[in-house]
Amino acid sequence: MKHAEAMLRLEVLPVSRLARLTDDERAGVLGGVCFSHPAGLPGIGDHPILSVEMVPLTGSEPVCEIWHGNEAMQSGQQGPIRYRYGDKLLFGCLSLDEPAAATCDDARTPLQAATESAYRAIFSLLDARGYPDILRFWNYFPAINGESHRMERYRQFNIGRQDAFLAHGRSVVDRVPAACALGSVAGGLHIAFLAARAGVVGVENPRQVSAYHYPSQYGPRSPTFARASLAKLGGRDMLFISGTASIVGYQTLHEGDVAAQTRESLSNIAAILAEANRLAPRAGFRPDALAYKVYVRHPEHVDTVRHEMTRFIGGAVPSVFLQADVCRADLLVEIEASGGHAIQAGGVA
């Protein structure tokens, strides 16, 4: 198969295949994220490959999502961020430990402080390099539903993230990137991101209150993300759908019913697709032409989730299933997807 013409291509492959990429293939890698438990994965050269401690439910092997580009690319490092970029796209990642103790004059929790400094570092890099439009953030940190300093850790993360957006003069409503935030088994705060020079627009879901308008019962600061982002790259419309769960309006539905939560999440994805197709009428995004990543709280639910997805999509499609805690304690599953770029399942279905 020839893929060289694709501006962006997602390849899902077992980690053992990473080491066997040819030099040409390596040169075309923009970056990626690998999921394994326990931690400890081989990198490839100085490429930004994020290693997240999470249990893959798809097969026995750790799995990687690798983004390939078609431009001439260079790698760089700035502070904690490893990144790689071509003329149009930049992929980066970083892992930060939560400071053991915040300093005395710091009212921030350690996770909040780590999140704020991570996002400030990312925005500084993107400002300096000239890739201000972010397509996607992937956020992973342990004990996302755990509590410390009398606040759920996901809510602490939301404060740090929003403060960094504000510090860099970025909007925290409307023009915000697509994202996800999931609980990993262990490790620090891990963030990967994909940014472009221009032309990224946010997509919202008419069935859901925008996350950046969630009421304060879900935390003192609303989460800063869009339901999806849409961009025209290399003449093609690309769509990045954020982590999507069983939320209608702003409330969780179907508590304790993983099949119904999966169907509701998929109805939300269908609504986002309709909205994206309205905004980009020639794109023709379809459920059976997306790549999915599915986070399941309880491993024993994976078959039920897979069954509902197959019904919705009308066949098997490239999907990665991972065990992860979702950012509300009552959510059992979260599904993200992307499309418009080339998709290749390299030995993982």
Known catalytic residues?
Answer: 334
- Cα–Cα distance between 55 and 44 in angstroms, integer? 21
Query: C-beta of 28: minimal distance to ligand 3EB in Å?
Result: 29
Site string (165-204) toward ligand 3EB, x via CB under 6 A? --------------xxx-----------------------
Q: Find the distance separating the first CA and the last CA of the chain, reported in whole Å.
A: 17
Sheet holding 189-196, edge to edge: 74-78, 81-85, 89-96, 189-196, 133-142, 178-184, 325-326
The answer to the question of residue 122 lying near ligand 3EB (CB under 6 A) is no
The answer to the question of residue 247 lying near ligand 3EB (CB under 6 A) is yes
Out of 117, 210, 229, 242, name the contact with ligand 3EB by CB under 6 A: 242
The answer to the question of residue 327 lying near ligand 3EB (CB under 6 A) is yes
Site string (69-108) toward ligand 3EB, x via CB under 6 A? ----------------------------------------
The answer to the question of residue 31 lying near ligand 3EB (CB under 6 A) is no
The answer to the question of residue 144 lying near ligand 3EB (CB under 6 A) is no
The answer to the question of residue 112 lying near ligand 3EB (CB under 6 A) is no
The answer to the question of residue 219 lying near ligand 3EB (CB under 6 A) is no
Long-range contacts of 271-277 (CB under 8 A, 24+ apart): 271/205, 271/206, 271/207, 271/208, 272/203, 272/205, 272/227, 272/228, 272/241, 272/244, 273/239, 273/241, 275/203, 275/204, 275/205, 275/206, 275/227, 275/228, 276/203, 276/228, 276/230, 276/237, 276/239
* 140 burial type by CB count under 10 A (0-12 exposed, 13-18 middle, 19+ buried): buried
Taking CB under 6 A as the binding criterion, the range among 119-127, 240-248, 293-301, 340-348 that sits at the site for ligand 3EB is: 240-248
Site residues, ligand 3EB (CB under 6 A): 139, 179-181, 211, 223, 225, 242-243, 245, 247, 327
